[in-house]
Structures are given as C-alpha cells and as structure tokens.
Amino acid sequence: MNLLGIDTGTSGTRAVLIDGAGRVLSVAAAEHPPIASLYPGWAEQHPGDWWRAACRAIRDCLAAGGASAAQIAAIGLTGQMHGLVLLGDEGNVLRPAIIWCDQRTSDQCRAITQSLGAERLIELTANPALTAFTLPKMLWVREHEPAVWARTRSILLPKDYVRFRLTAGRTTDVTDASGTLLLDVANRRWSGAMAALLQLSPAILPALHESHQVTGCISDQAAAETGLRAGTPVVAGAGDQAAGAVAMGIVRPGAVSAAIGTSGVVFAATGKPFLDPRGRIHTFCHASPGLWHVMGVTQAAGYSLRWFRDQFGAKNPSSSAGPAAAGADPYDQLSAEAAQAPPGSDGLLWAPYLMGERTPHLDPLARGALVGLTASHTRAHVIRAIMEGVAFSLRDALAIFAELGLLVDSIRLGGGGARSRLWRQIQADAYGMPVEIVAAGEGPAYGAALLAGVGSGAWPSIQSACDAAVRVVERIEPDARSAALMDRQYAAYKKIYPALRGIASQGS
C-alpha cells in the first residue's frame, strides 16, 4: 500500500509518494509561472497552471517511485492558503486567482472591521480581518468586478481547485477554511452570522470536512490526465501550514514548529481555541479533530533571501568574485557566503517587510529595510543579516505565545530554511532554545500523505500516524555566547518597525 500527497504551493506543485510505514519512495515537482502583479501589491495566479503542474508532478512522482497507480490506497491534498478561486455555472474559472500575498484589500478589511467591530469579529471567527484572507478578496471582487461576481456560483481555495479537477467535488477542510474569515473556528463550521452580516450566500461555499475524511474519488477524466487510478479515494487534506505541522509531528499541545518557506510560520498546537484579543496571531482549526493551533506569520521569510538572490545573484563560495558554480544550488551558495560573517552581522539588521507584515504588526504597508550599514560591511554580512532578521521576525510570534501563556515544550524546524545548517543554528541562537529536525523533510506534501493514510485506515489517528512515521534526526543547541548577542540584536530589531512606519506613512 502506498499513499500520495500533493502540495499546490506558490512557486510550484510537489508530489510525494510514501509507503504504509511512512517511508518516502519518490518526490517530484513542477514549477508554476511567475506570480502576476498588474499593479503594486497585487498577486495572482491562474488555477489552470496549478492543475497542469499537478498532472506533471503526479506522473513524474509515480515514474520515479516505480509504482503503479493501483498501489495507491489514498491521496491527500495541501497547498497555499487564502487564495480565491471563482467558478461559474459549468465549473469554469472566471478570473485569475487572487492569492495569499495579495495586498489590495485594505479597504475591505477596514469595512469588515468597522461593520462588525474588532471584538465581535474575533468572537465570530477567532481572527481579525487581514488582507491575506479570502473574505476580503471576495468583497473586493464584488465591489470592483460586479459582472464577475454576478456569474460566481462557487468559491474554492487553491488546493481545492486541484481536488475539483481530480474528483469534481467542491469541498474544503476545516484548517484551510479557518483562513477565509468565514469559519466559526471554535465550532469547526461555516459561520452563518458572517455570511448574513456581509450578505453572502452560503451556497457558494464548499462542503466542509475534517482533514482525514474522504471527500471523493479520482474521476475517469482525471485518471486519464494524471495517470492515477479512477476510484482512488481523495481525503480532505489541510492547508499548507497544518499539513506541514503534521509532517513534523506537531500534533499535541506544547509542540511548536518554525517553518521558513516563501513565508515564515510559527505554529503551536493547542487543546482549545485560543483567542488573542489584539489579533496579532491566527487561531485556526488543527488537522487533528479536537485540536486547534495558533500561528504567527512573516510574509517575506524565505522570500527575503530569494529577493536578494534575484536582485544581486549568488557567487561561488570558493571565489571572492567569480560566478556561481554551474548546477550549484544558489541558496547553498548564499548560506556558505553568509557563514563568512560573524553572528550578529557586526550590528547589521534586516527588517523583512517586503510584502507588508502580519505578525505582530498587521500592517500591509510595512516596509523592509537594512539598518546599520557601514563601509566595513560585506555581501556576507548582508546575507547573514537577512537570515537573522527572518529569525527575529519569527521570534516575534514566540514572544506573543509567551505573553499569552502558551506552552512551548519543543521547536521543530521546517521549510527550505531548515535545509541550511547555518539557518538552523541562527534559529536556535535567536530563539534561545534547542531546535529539532525530523527525518522526512518533504514538508506539507508529506503531511498530506499521512492524512491520506489515516483516511484509508493505515493508521487509526493522526497522532498515531505521526508517532509511527515522524522521527527526529538532529537536535541543535543554541550557542550561549551567540544567543546572548542575538538577544541584544533582537532588542534593537524591535525598534525598527516604529521608525519605518513613520517613514512609510509619509510616502504612502
């Protein structure tokens, strides 16, 4: 028996095939076209590109694993959260999807908050109105593209569009639905009050399931396009952060993960819905029934390093000026270069607010900056400062957890940032706590495959799946001297945003 996980990410789609013991058999990925940004702050992708990438990744994954489609017992889905897909009468896509990092909906967020009141909004949905969430995007389309809205018959989230193409079902799960601002998170159901207050028809919302529940089966048409077997069950799955947490075994209260992908997320499992009255962190349903999670988000975590790579390139770390070695991973090169600078980057600081910020500032107009540059700083200092600044931004979320009395027993690292030995040590030093790495580093797609296993009966619960399949392979202790230095740097880092806000507001 094998299990397949499919992750519809921002930059590409990833498929992971595992066996019944949780061992990875094969992995394949297919890139998406670049994000379209017609105007500053806009971010759109076409759902058809996700489907084409999924078909390619699935076929390549099966071929790489030498597995037949008949051996796959179930399929799990995950993907980028918050994106808005609008479907018409025949299931046709009406416009490009507005994705998670789009910032155009500030006016709609203010209108939602003013019409309901900030406290009432958190009571109803456990979260404040943020530009990333799906509901403000819906209101933007209704206001600015009324002809499109009039033709809308259903809305889907990104991974659920892939499900629609696989099974023809219009379904989502409670973790992904938590990020729409339309879910009664505490009771794990759509909020009739939110729909009524904003004059939205509940009929346009997808059916709602727990993450391990079967939502449909592979259709004949999807089987022909993907190489999968018609009739194979597809479970609900989870949003990328919840699925990634499952992949790291964050399925009991006190367990925390810190994942650096395009965005950065600090994720803590809780035994009850936990509300921050100030709305600085998100409270969502966990993939495991009976659990919730709190989450702090940095908009441009790994994206900060990608921005530097795209604008300034990567050099061969063995050369002071030569071009990057052919075929070498540019992020490995950047990490090697950053290691030439000392902890603390000789006072240089990076504020990673390239796309606004969510935790803790809730400010789509926040702006990034390098602070403290001197003539003695080098490229190595800048790269290391970027890596340290991202770690400080994630520490902001941990500071809120501590303030609110949330238990943190352990921190496990995930995402692309966990592949860098330097970034692992930087995080241990910045958090002042040991951090752990798990064996399967395939992220949300691996978690989706585990959820598929629970749905197919391979394991009786999500906790038992994680106990059987998730294994810690490395523990990194903070260096006492570096951790003390990082404490001082973090204190300076926290002073940057107020100054930046004043400058940004003058230029807006």
Catalytic residue numbers, as ranges: 240
Q: Distance between CA 192 and CA 173 in Å, rounded? A: 17
Query: Tokens 């270069």 sit at which residue?
Result: 337
Cβ neighbours for 288, distance < 8 A, ≥ 6 positions apart: 211, 246, 251, 269, 461, 462, 463
Nearest to 83, CA basis, from 240, 218, 223: 240
CB 215 within 8 A of CB 236: yes
Q: In 3-state terms, what secondary structure has residue 254?
A: coil
Q: Distance between CA 240 and CA 77 in Å, rounded? A: 9
Nearest to 392, CA basis, from 425, 351, 362: 351
Please state, as a whole number, how many other Cβ atoms lie within 10 Å of the Cβ of residue 71.
17
The two three-digit tokens of residue 56, written as one number? 């390619």
At position 419, the amino acid (one-letter code) is: R
The two three-digit tokens of residue 445, written as one number? 């797609």
Q: What is the full DSSP assignment across 328-366?
A: --HHHHHHHHHTTSPTTGGG-EEE--BTBB-TTT-BTT-
Q: Distance between CA 337 and CA 221 in Å, rounded? A: 49
Q: Distance between CA 7 and CA 79 in Å, rounded? A: 5
Helix then strand then coil, in percent of the chain rounded to 5, is 40, 20, 35
